[in-house]
Chains A and B, each alone.
Chain A
Amino acid sequence: MSHAHTPGNGGADHPAAPMVEEITDFEVLEIAVRELAIEHGLFTAEDHRRFTEWAESIGPAAGSRLVAKAWTDPAFKARLLEDAVKACKEIGIDWAEPTGFGTPSDYMNLRVLEDTPTLHHVIVCTLCSCYPRPLLGMSPEWYRTTNYRRRLVRWPRQVLAEFGLILPPEVEVRVEDSNQKCRFMVLPVRPEGTENWTEEQLAEIVTRDCMIGVALPRPGRTADVHPMHKARRPVKGQAHSGEAAHESKK
């Protein structure tokens, strides 16, 4: 598939990303099954387009709002921990019909896992990729890898450290395995330095990874900020980017 980049559409000098120039049997199978299902009246092409659009457009914003509200409203937090599906309706998420046009493949059993200073939760789906989509959107790629799924339940601290999250020994780590009967989301501890913040400010630091449990919320760390530590020992003479080359000459 070719794709022309034009000025004002992401950069005229930016080369088109490579695509797989091959029609596989799997691509053909997906189309064939879908077309037959539509012809047999199992669903319509319009249904399919709308579900695709929904699945590709949802993000973790609803989960962030949920956490921020729980941090600022103790009564809401109590309701959330008691009956998460019911509490979600208060922020406009109806698990029975999150799309507003039908029931997607998610479940009506959601549990919110409250972290404390001595207890940290992290979620996984050891079987496949079960995930609280109405709140967090599509799961990240790494969430679906066997690396994460298999190792997190065995060596959670080791895996969390690979995400840069090193928890002290006195903090208990609890892994919850999502499945077709229950979905989970982590309610992290509200970090220090956020006193008097509004819900909107708080929601900004509750990123997707914080609600999975592989990161902790921190003032200044939002989803659209990409901090990068300078290499402590850059390889001399082999830098590729301009900045790295500059650093190596210092």
Chain B
Amino acid sequence: MSPRNKVARGRFALLEALKNRDKTWNALAPRYGVSNPNPPWKSSLIAMCDCLDAGGALPVLDRRHAEDELADSVYSDIPEPERQLLALAHTMLSRGLITESDLANRMRAVRARLEAV
């Protein structure tokens, strides 16, 4: 296994728990009668990848190698663009750019914020 393939060795419980095909855009959009082929967060995800590359935190080739590998293994059952998002989070966790506990805490905080009335 080449060095660039190391990323798929690990699994993150937090991300494993998110692998729910029923909540992907392909499943949700027709349920709500939405014709937009992409979820509203898609362009933000693309821009995030661009930013990580531009700033040098995660070069595009490294990200793409990891993405390809994870798409064939850990997240093969999840469609795009959710798969790209999971792969990006996985790669950032693997590289220590963010930690799993920080991400879990932040997800709880974000959800609370979005659901606030």
Contacts and interface: CB of A to CB of B under 8 A. Distances in A.
A4 B82 CA distance: 29
A26 B29 contact: no
B77 to A, nearest CB: 14
A119 interface: no
**Chain B interface mostly:** helix
A17 B35 contact: yes
B97 A37 contact: yes
Contacts of B52: 37, 42-43
A90 interface: no
Interface residues of A, number: 42
B39 to A, nearest CB: 7
Contacts of A102: 50-51, 54
Interface string A30-65: 111111110010110001110110011000000000
Contact of A37 (B54, B61, B98): B98
A180 interface: yes
B8 to A, nearest CB: 16
B50 A31 contact: no
Nearest to B51: A43
A68 B96 CA distance: 48
Given A25-B18, A35-B106, A19 B32 contact: yes
A43 B48 CA distance: 9
Contacts of B41: 26-27, 30-31
Contacts, number: 150
A28 interface: yes
Interface in B20-64: 20, 23-25, 28-29, 31-41, 43-55, 57-58, 60-61, 63-64
B9 interface: no
A29 interface: yes
Given A27-B39, A180-B61, A52 B102 contact: no
Contacts of A31: 41, 110, 114
Interface of B: 18, 20, 23-25, 28-29, 31-41, 43-55, 57-58, 60-61, 63-65, 67-68, 71, 80, 82, 84-86, 88-89, 92, 97-98, 102-103, 106-107, 109-111, 114-115
27 contacts: A17-B35, A20-B28, A20-B29, A20-B32, A20-B39, A24-B39, A26-B41, A26-B82, A27-B40, A28-B110, A29-B89, A33-B88, A33-B92, A37-B57, A42-B51, A42-B97, A43-B55, A48-B47, A49-B47, A51-B47, A51-B54, A52-B47, A104-B53, A105-B53, A105-B63, A107-B60, A128-B68
Given A52-B47, A55-B50, 13 more contacts: A17-B34, A23-B111, A25-B107, A26-B23, A26-B39, A32-B103, A32-B107, A33-B85, A36-B102, A40-B98, A42-B52, A48-B44, A105-B63
